């Protein structure tokens, strides 16, 4: 989801792996496209251009700020465009229940520049702001509540599992000591505690010392991995035979979920290996379009450093009975 730094207009945003997404989704005029993570509309502008003024474009985002970007996008799209606010797992499920079928689905995961470049949203460890991190500001629990209320052991587990932070226990201990004196209110409060908990020789050389803690908190606040696990089966049920799905992830936890789901749905028989005859009758529901994750080219990373961690996987819906 990360794009270029400006958030003034969707045209200012540089979508990650744009050429690769267009090639794999191969959108044709008259088709139905779902962008499950619209953000500022960077990919949407390109995909809507491929519709050539025919077909439908359904934009989904749980962030209410995305609506303003969509309104500008829709005026220039040409095709029938519709905005649905909500978590993509929920919206995809609703669309499936209503009988809608799509030809192409894009999920561009993670936080968008629309969010991270606005200090008041509290996503960035580089700028002092309220400790928030909610993609949907109407959700009741922000990063502030998690940091101030979660027991030490659970905090350490959160930082280790979602942020892959090696000093998770030391950081959780420092947070609990600090909040006993005064609650965390600002991102700078958290950055100071994290920096102080990490051994001095390890504070440099692998990016900002708080980046993994902020990643873990953001994932927990927005239930990003749970949402992805729920969304992939719903997306498969929405795709018509021959429909394509592309997913861009930005860290190994997301990519692992996508890789395993695609691999499982691309398999035939899932019977135990010692069973002499297939009894499950399972048929593949996907055909992989990418055997390995597609990564940005050196030229793209040079022009948009935020794209460096992006990984793209895609598949096509097989014929179904």
What pLDDT does residue 269 have? 78
- Which parts of the chain have pLDDT scores under 50? 3-12, 321
Residue 11: its pLDDT value, please? 40
Collapsing DSSP to helix, strand or coil, 80 comes out as strand
Q: Summarize pLDDT for 83-138 with one digit per residue, the tens.
A: 999 999 999 999 999 999 999 999 999 877 767 667 778 888 988 999 999 999 99
Fold of 120-222: DNA polymerase; domain 1 (1.10.150)
Of 113, 125, 122, 184, the C-alpha closest to 155 is: 184
Per-residue pLDDT, 114: 67
- CATH number of 10-114+224-317, picked from 3.40.50.150, 3.30.365.10, 3.30.9.10, 2.40.50.1020: 3.40.50.150
Give CA separation, 233 vs 239, 273, 277, in Å. 10, 25, 27
User: Quick one: pLDDT at residue 300?
Assistant: 95
> What phi, psi does 228 have (nearest 5°)?
-65, -45
Q: What predicted TM-score, i.e. pTM, was given to this entire model? A: 0.89
pLDDT at residue 320 in the model: 61
Angstrom CA distances, 177 to 49, 180, 295, stand at 54, 5, 41
pLDDT at 6: 35
What is the pLDDT at residue 200?
Answer: 80
List the domain boundaries for the chain: 10-114+224-317, 120-222
Instruction: Give the pLDDT confidence score for residue 19 in this predicted structure.
Output: 96
CA 103 from chain centre, in angstroms, equals 20
Count CB-CB contacts under 10 A for residue 241: 11
């Amino acid at each position: 989801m990360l794009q270029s730094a400006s958030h003034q207009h969707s045209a200012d945003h540089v979508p990650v792996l744009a050429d690769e997404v267009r090639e794999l989704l191969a959108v044709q005029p008259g088709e139905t496209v779902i962008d499950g993570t619209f953000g500022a509309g960077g990919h949407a502008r390109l995909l809507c251009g491929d519709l050539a003024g025919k077909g439908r474009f359904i934009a989904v985002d749980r962030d209410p700020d995305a609506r303003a970007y969509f309104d500008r996008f829709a005026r220039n799209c040409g095709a029938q465009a519709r905005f649905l606010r909500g978590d993509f797992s929920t919206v995809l499920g609703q669309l499936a229940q209503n009988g809608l079928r799509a030809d192409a689905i894009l999920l561009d995961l993670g936080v968008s520049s629309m969010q991270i470049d606005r200090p008041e949203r509290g996503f960035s460890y580089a700028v002092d702001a309220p400790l928030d991190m909610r993609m949907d500001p109407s959700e009741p629990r922000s990063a502030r509540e998690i940091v101030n209320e979660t027991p030490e052991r659970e905090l350490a587990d959160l930082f280790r599992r979602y942020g892959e932070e090696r000093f998770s226990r030391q950081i959780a201990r420092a947070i609990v000591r600090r909040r006993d004196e005064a609650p965390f209110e600002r991102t700078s409060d958290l950055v100071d505690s994290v920096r102080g908990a990490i051994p001095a020789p390890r504070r440099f050389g692998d990016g900002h010392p708080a980046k993994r803690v902020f990643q873990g908190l953001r994932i927990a606040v927005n239930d990003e991995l749970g949402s992805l696990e729920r969304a992939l089966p719903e997306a498969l049920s929405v795709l018509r035979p021959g429909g394509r799905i592309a997913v861009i992830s930005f860290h190994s936890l997301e990519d692992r979920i996508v890789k395993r789901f695609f691999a499982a749905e691309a398999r035939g028989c899932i019977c135990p290996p010692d069973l002499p005859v297939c009894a499950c009758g399972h048929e593949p529901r996907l055909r992989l379009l990418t055997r390995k994750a597609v990564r940005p080219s050196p030229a793209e990373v040079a022009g948009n450093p935020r794209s460096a961690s992006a990984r793209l996987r895609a598949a096509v819906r097989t014929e179904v009975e």
